[in-house]
């Protein structure tokens, strides 16, 4: 029976408190965005100097940092002077974890967190929150914000390539078409491991132009063709493997089937389609559920189970020939014409 006495409110705060706090996560992100940890790396500084360096209000900054000090981030060795500590050092720009970049509210990953301010809209309507929060649908937003588009490409390129590629046997592939392949990091990884193969990189024109430069710098330009186009349009033919690496989860079921159908049409009767996704629903349920919610808010996409991918493939005219979970939790799904 629920406690309706004097202990009810304290008990409720004890149970729900860890789930409710928005102040500390946002304060940490603001400190990261302002590069406060960089400024105090060499030693404590008065808040007036920190405010000057970060272009902020000194009183507001002091109040922000005092909140973080209470939670073990930064120190205040004397009133109004703030310094580094072990936790704050993780927010430095040069820390190998790159946590500052992930928390920067002016950056791509920060935008991915801020989109959660539209969560109520999404739950009420079923629509992505990105347009409500940032004024345009996700893909249009990237198209009109080149810096964010480049950051998105970088984020997609920062995956665990060896793990993603290791779930499929590429040894018999002669022509690999990387559909929605960004700047070509995945394709380059596979081609460098299989010098007998060649590739085609397919993505939007501004993205594949960055890919052209990337592939040339890796000495792969003579082995790679470039196709600047939407994957909702007919794809280049002639490949024997069409790969979709972390693409399908960006889209709802109808759009996902349309992409897979384009791949199936281009692959023809002898080709194969390989789907690589970042989460296996049988692995870490909490991470799967969080990313599923993120995809809904950002673009209307979703994370899926093996059974869901199998159903999508069947609707697109493909049969799943093999499923290979990787050591780091990716799903690699090999498909052939039905």
> Looking at residue 236, which CATH number applies to its domain?
3.40.50.150
139 inside domain: no
Show which of 106, 140, 169 is a domain's final residue.
Answer: 106
| Residue 248 DSSP code | G
pLDDT digits 0-9 by tens, 259-317: 999 999 999 999 999 999 986 656 688 889 999 999 999 999 999 999 999 999 999 99
Which portions of the chain are predicted below pLDDT 50? 1
pLDDT score of 2: 53
Domain span including residue 56: 8-106
Sign of CA dihedral 37, 42, 48, 54: negative
Of 80, 106, 132, the position where a domain reaches its end is 106
Query: Is 211 in the same domain as 71?
Result: no
pLDDT of residue 81: 99
Domain boundary, last residue among 49, 80, 106 = 106
The Cα–Cα gap between 290 and 295 comes to 9
The candidate with the shortest Cα–Cα distance to 309, out of 284, 333, 328, is 333
- Residue 277's region, left for phi above 0, alpha for psi from -120 to 50, else beta, is beta
Do 182 and 325 belong to one domain? Answer: yes
Q: CA torsion, points 103, 189, 180, 168, in degrees to nearest 10?
A: -110
Q: Which residues are catalytic?
A: 249
Give the per-residue pLDDT at 1: 47
Q: What is the dihedral of CA 70, 76, 79, 81, to 10 degrees?
A: -130
Whether residue 212 sits in one domain with residue 80: no
């Amino acid at each position: 029976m629920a406690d309706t006495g004097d202990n009810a409110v304290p008990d409720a705060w004890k149970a729900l408190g860890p789930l409710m706090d928005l102040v500390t996560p946002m304060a940490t992100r603001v400190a990261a965005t302002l590069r406060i940890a960089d400024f105090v790396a060499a030693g404590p500084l008065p808040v007036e100097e920190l405010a000057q360096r970060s272009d902020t209000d000194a009183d507001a900054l002091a109040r922000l940092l005092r909140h973080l000090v209470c939670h073990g981030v930064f120190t205040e060795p004397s009133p109004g002077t703030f310094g580094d500590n072990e936790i704050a050092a993780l927010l430095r720009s040069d820390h190998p974890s790159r946590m500052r970049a992930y928390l920067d509210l002016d950056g791509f990953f920060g935008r991915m967190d801020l989109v959660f301010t539209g969560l109520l809209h999404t739950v009420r309507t079923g629509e992505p929150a990105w347009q409500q929060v940032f004024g345009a649908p996700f893909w249009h937003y990237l198209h009109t914000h080149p810096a964010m588009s480049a950051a998105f490409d970088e984020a997609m390129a920062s995956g665990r390539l060896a793990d993603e590629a290791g779930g499929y046997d590429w040894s018999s592939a002669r022509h690999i078409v990387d559909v929605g392949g960004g700047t070509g990091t995945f394709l380059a990884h596979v081609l460098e491991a299989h010098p007998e193969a060649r590739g085609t990189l397919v993505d939007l024109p501004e993205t594949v132009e960055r890919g052209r430069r990337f592939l040339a710098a890796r000495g792969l330009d003579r082995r790679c063709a470039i196709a600047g186009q939407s994957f909702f349009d007919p794809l280049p033919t002639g490949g024997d493997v069409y790969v979709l690496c972390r693409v399908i989860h960006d889209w709802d079921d109808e759009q996902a089937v349309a992409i897979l159908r384009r791949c199936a049409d281009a692959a023809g009767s002898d080709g194969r389609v390989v789907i690589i996704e970042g989460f296996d629903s049988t692995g870490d349920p909490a991470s799967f559920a969080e990313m599923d919610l993120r995809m809904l808010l950002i673009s209307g996409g979703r994370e899926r189970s093996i059974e869901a991918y199998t159903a999508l493939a069947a609707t697109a005219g493909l049969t799943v020939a093999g499923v290979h979970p990787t050591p780091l939790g990716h799903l690699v799904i090999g498909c052939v014409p039905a």
